[in-house]
Structure 1
Amino acid sequence: MTRTERGALGALTGLSLGDALGMPTQSMSPAAIHETYGRVDTLRDAIADQPIAPGMPAGSVTDDTEQALIMAGLIIEGKGHIDPKEFAKRLLAWEDDMKSRGSLDLLGPSTKLALEQVRRGADIMTTGRTGTTNGAAMRVAPVGIANRPQDTRRLANRIYESCQVTHDTVAGFQSAALVATTVSLGLEGMTVRQALHESLRLVSAMETPGAWTPKASVPARARQSIRLSEEFSDEDDFEHHLIEDCGTSVEAKRSPFLTFVCIAVFVALTVVVSAAGHAFILTVQKWATWIFGALTLLVAIYLATTVDWSSFIGNAPGSASAFLIGVGTIAAGTGIGWVNSGADMARYQKTSVKSGPLILTAAAGAGIPLVVVIGLGSVLTAGNSTIASAADPVAAVRSALPAWVSIPYLIAAFAGLLMSNNLSVYSAGLTTITLGIRIPRVYAVVVDVVVTTCGALYFTLGSDGFYGPFVTFISLLAVPLSTWAGIFLSDMIFRKRYDSDGLLNLQADSPYWYWHGVNLPAIISWLVGMVVGFLFVTAQVSKNEVWFSGPLAGSFLGRNGLAWLVSLLLGGILYAILHLLSKDSTAVGGSGND
C-alpha cells in the first residue's frame, strides 16, 4: 500500500470514527453531554431520548459518513468529477432507504431542505442557495483525497461540484474547501498544523463561488479557532473557550452583531412611532394596513398558484392531540395574548361607537389577517416540513420562497409586529395607571422597551432554537391572562354597565375602591386560577431543557395544552361563586349594577 493509499484510508477511517464518536452527542448542549455521558473518549450508545439518533448503538455512523461514501463512488464513476444531478438522485435514494429503516432525522437541515425542493421538481442548480450549515464539509473528504493541492483551480471546481446541490453558498463552499484542502495537503505529507495554515492560505485565495449570505467569513472564524488552540495548553480550557468564542452550531458561521442591529432598528422604530402621538399612529396604522395587507395578498396569490394542492389536501391528518395543542398555541399567541388590549382598541374610537359594532370590527380586523397568515404558514409548512422545526424560521421562510416573494412576506411580518408593538408601547402609561402606579409615560415606555429588547435577544441569540422558547413563553403567559379573562367575563355578567367616572377615580370614594383599593374576590380567584393552571403546564424550551413540569402536566388537559382553558373556567367560576356568596354585592360587583 502506497503512502497516498494509506493516507486515503486514514482520512476515511478518521471521518467514520469521528462521526461515530460524535453520534451520541448530536444537538446536545455541553452541560447535557457532561451530565449524560461524562467525557466522551470512546464509542458510546446513544440514549433513548437523543434528539437526532435516539437509541443508536455504539459505533454507528450518521449521514456524514454515508454521504461521503456516496460521493466517493461518484468520483470513481465520474473519473474525478461529481455529477450534481446524479448526486441528488443518489441522496434521494439513500434518504428513502433510511426512511424505510425507520431513521427520519439523520439529515442535516440544509441537505434536508434541498432534497425536499428536488422532490418537488426544483432546478438542482438553485436548491443549494440557502445551505449555510456544515453538511458539505462533513462529506467532502473524498474530494481532498482525489485531488492534489497544487492544482487549486481543479480542486476548487471539484469542491464546488460536491456543494452545489445542497450548499451552494459562500459559507458552504468555504467550509467544505477548508476540509478538502487540509485532507489533500495531509496526503502530501504535511502535519496537521501545517496543513491547516496552508489550507487557510489557499482557500482565502480561491475564487469563491456560491450565493452570498450576510454571515461572517468561515476562514476568519477558523483562524480564530486556531489562535485559541495556540493560546491554551490545557485541553479543557481550550474546549471551553472554543465553545464560548466560536460556538458549535451546524451553521458554518453566525452574525450576532447583525442580529443585534436588526433588533435595535425594530425597537427604535417602535419608539419613534409611539412617541409621535395619537394622530400619527392612526395615520401610520391606516396606510400600513393597506400596504402590508397588499404584500400579504401577493404571497397568498403566489402560494395559491404554485402549491401542490393535491399533495397538500392529501396529507394525512394530524392526531386529535396535535390539533388541540395547535388550537391552544394559536389561542395563547393571539386572542388570549391580546385579551387585555381592549382599552387600546376602545381609546382609538369615537365615544359614540356602540359596543356591538366595536366588538365585530375588532374581531374581524384581527381575525381576517390572522386566518390568512396562519393559512399561509400551513401551506408553506406542508410544502416544506423543515420550516416547522427550523431554529431560525425567518431564514427557513426566506429559503422556501423565491426572493421576490420572501422579501415582501418578511417585510409584511416585520411591519405587522411593529404596528402591534407601537400600540402596546404607546399604551404603557395606561397600563401603569391601571396598576395604581403614577409615573410619566416615558418611564413606562423605557421599561417596555427594555423588556422587548431582552426578550428578542434571548429568542434570537440566547436560545438554541426559536419555537421551543416562543411556545413556552406564550403558554406561560396564557395562564394568568386566561384567568383574568374568565374573571372579567364573569364580572360583566353581573353588571348592566360600568360607571365610567368611577373607573377613573383612584380615590377611596370610588365605587370600585373595594377593600383598600383591592378587589379581594378577584385577586383570590386570579391567584387560584393561575396556580391551578400552572399545574397543567410543562415549560420546555427544547427536548433536553425543561424549566419545570406541573404535577398534572401528564394529564389529558396538560398533554394537550389546555391549561389556559382550565384557568379561564376556574377563574370565572370561582369569581362568580364568591360574588353569589357575598352578603354585600358591592364587595364584588361595585356599586349595584355599575
Structure 2
Amino acid sequence: MKVLGMLYGMAVGDALGMPSELWSREKVKSYFGDITEFLDGPKENDVACNFTKGQFTDDTTQALLILDSLIENDFIPSEKLIAEKLIEWAVRTDAFENNILGPSSKAALLAIKEGENADILTRKALTNGAAMRIAPIGALFSTAQNKELSEYVFEVSRATHTSDVSIGGAAMIAYAVSASIEDKSWEQIIEGALNIYELASKKGAETFTASIPERLKLGIEFADLYQDDEETFTQKIYDVIGCGTMTSESVPAALAIAYYAKDPNRCALICANIGGDTDTIGAMATAICGAKYGYDAIRKDWIDTIDSENSVDLKNYAHFIELHKPQFKGV
C-alpha cells in the first residue's frame, strides 16, 4: 500500500495546491485565508483557472504519462516515446497555449514538435519539470541502487531536462520515495537524498545555481528549530529556501516540508498554503509522505475526490509498479 500511498500523495498534494499555484504567500493568505479542502481554480489565477476542485495538474499527469511510456516499453526508458506522449497530451489539452506547461518543458517539447534539436534547451533547464514528475520512478528502485536510480532518472528526464541541477534534484525526490517505501527514518531519508545529489548531478550538463544540498540542510535546521511553530517554519522556507519554480528552490523546500510535516494530509495542506509553486511542491512532498505512511494514512474523502474528479485509475498504475519492481535490474 506504500506505492499506492505515493501515487495518491502526489495527486492529493498537486490538487490541493492547484488553486494557489504561482501566487505569492501574501496573496494566498488574503484570497483564501486558509486552504483546508479541494477548491476550484480561481478565475483570477491564469494558471489554475481552467481546473476544478480535486483535479490534479500537469505534475501528476506528466508522471503518469511517463509511466505509460514505461509500461508500453517494458520499463525501458525511451526519450522518443516519452516526448511523443508528452507532446500528444500537450496538443490534446492545449497545454502549449493555456500556460499549463513549465518553461523548460514547453521550450523543449515545442522544439521536438518542430523537428529541431532540443539539446541546447534541455542542458540549460533549471526549472522543476523533471523533479515534479519523478516520484513514481523512486518506487522502482531500492536504496541500494543509487547508481541505477541516477541513470534511470536521467533517461526518463532527458526529453526536457539534462542539466546537473534538474537531474540531481529529481534524483533526490526519487530517492526519498525509495527510502520512504523502505520505511527508513526521516534522518536516513534526508541523508540519502543529500548523498545522491552529487552522483546524479554529474550526469547532467554543468550550470550555475544555488546548492540544493546546502539549501536542504538549512531547511532541515528550520524544521528542527520551529517544530512547534508551523507559521514561522513555513515563512522561513518561503523567504530563505524559496518556493519558486526553480529546482534549486522547490526541491529543498519539498524535502524540508515532508520532513517537517510527516503526515501526508498535513503535508499537503502546508504546501497548498505556503505560496509559490504550491502544486509542484505539494506533489513532490506529499508523494514522499504518502510513500512513508501508505495509502491508509491519506484521508479517504480526499482519495474519493481524486478518483471522481480525474479520469485515471491510480490503483492500476500501482499494480504495474508492484508487478515490475521485483524483476527490475536497472538500466
Tell me whether the two structures share a fold, i.e. TM-score over 0.5: yes
2:115 corresponds to which letter in structure 1?
G
> What residue is the counterpart of 2:236 in the other structure?
241
Matched, 1:136 2:130: yes
1:230 Cα shift?
1.1
- Indicate which of 199, 202, 208 corresponds to 2:202: 208
Match of 1:31 in 2: 26
Of 170, 188, 194, the match for 1:176: 170
1:224 to 218, 226, 230: 218
Paired letter, 2:112 = V
Aligned residue pairs: how many? 249
The two structures, once aligned, show a CA RMSD in angstroms of 2.0
- CA distance in 2 between counterparts of 1:36 and 1:191 reads 37
| Displacement of 1:184 | 0.9
Query: Offset of 1:128 from its aligned partner?
Result: 1.1
- Measure the CA separation in 2 of the matches of 1:191 and 1:42: 29
- Compare relative contact order (CA 8 Å, sep 6+) and give the higher one, 1 or 2: 2
- Residue 147 of structure 1 aligns with which residue? 141
Once the two structures are superposed, the pairs formed by residues 331-370 of structure 1 within 5 Å of their partners are none
Say whether the 8 Å CA contact 2:164–2:201 is kept in structure 1: no
1:43 partnered with 2:7: no
1:58-137 mapped onto 2 (5 Å cutoff)? 58-99=53-94, 104-137=98-131
Q: Is 1:136–1:172's contact at 8 Å kept on the other side of the alignment?
A: yes
Kept in 1: contact 2:172–2:193 (CA 8 A): yes
CA distance in 2 between partners of 1:78 and 1:150 (Å): 25
Q: Does 1:158 align with 2:162?
A: no
Alignment of 1:506-525 (within 5 A): none
Structure 2 Cα separation of the partners of residues 215 and 171 of structure 1: 7
Residues 169 and 205 of structure 1: is their aligned pair in 2 closer, same or farther, counting only changes over 3 Å?
A: closer
Other structure's SS at 2:247 match? coil
Displacement of 1:136 after TM fit?
A: 0.8
Quick one: distance in 2 between partners of 1:207 and 1:115? Answer: 22
Alpha-carbon separation, structure 1, partners of 2:147 and 2:75 = 14
Distance 1:186 1:228 in 2: 21
Quickly say closer, same or farther: Cα 1:83–1:126, change in 2 above 3 A.
farther
Task: Give the residue type in structure 2 aligned to 1:96.
Answer: V
Percent identity reads 29
The runs of 5 or more residues in structure 1 that have no matched partner are 1-5, 255-463, 465-594
1: distance between equivalents of 2:170 and 2:22?
21
CA distance in structure 2 between the aligned counterparts of 1:183 and 1:44, rounded to whole angstroms: 27
Contact preservation (8 Å) 1:53, 1:105 = no
8 A contact 1:145–1:183 mirrored in 2: yes
Alpha-carbon deviation of 1:105? 1.3
Cα 1:152–1:231 change in 2 (3 A) is same
1:249-264 alignment runs, 5 A limit: 249-253=244-248
Counterpart CA distance in 1 for 2:93 and 2:191 is 38
Larger Rg: 1
Q: 1:167 offset after TM fit, Å?
A: 1.4
- The answer as to whether partners of 1:126 and 1:165 remain within 8 angstroms in 2 is no
TM superposition score normalised by structure 2? 0.71
How far the C-alpha of 1:103 sits from its partner, in A, is 6.9
1:378-415 deviation per Cα after TM superposition (whole angstroms, max 9, x unaligned): xxxxxxxxxxxxxxxxxxxxxxxxxxxxxxxxxxxxxx
Match of 2:48 among 47, 53, 63: 53
User: 1:96: Cα distance to partner?
Assistant: 0.6
Do 2:168 and 2:200's aligned partners in 1 also have CA atoms closer than 8 Å? no
Partners in 2 of 1:66 and 1:158 — Cα distance?
Answer: 19
Deviation at 1:38, TM superposition (A): 1.0
One-letter identity of the residue aligned with 2:139: I
Write the deviation string for residues 218-275 of structure 1: whole angstroms up to 9, x where unpaired: 2222222112111112101100111111111101237xxxxxxxxxxxxxxxxxxxxx
CA distance in 2, matches of 1:49, 1:250: 20
The AA in structure 1 aligned to 2:28 is I
Distance 1:161 1:133 in 2: 17
Q: Please state whether the residue corresponding to 1:40 is helix, strand or coil.
A: coil
Secondary structure of the structure 1 residue equivalent to 2:94: helix
**Counterpart mapping for 1:106-505 below 5 A:** 106-206=100-200, 208-233=202-227, 234-253=229-248
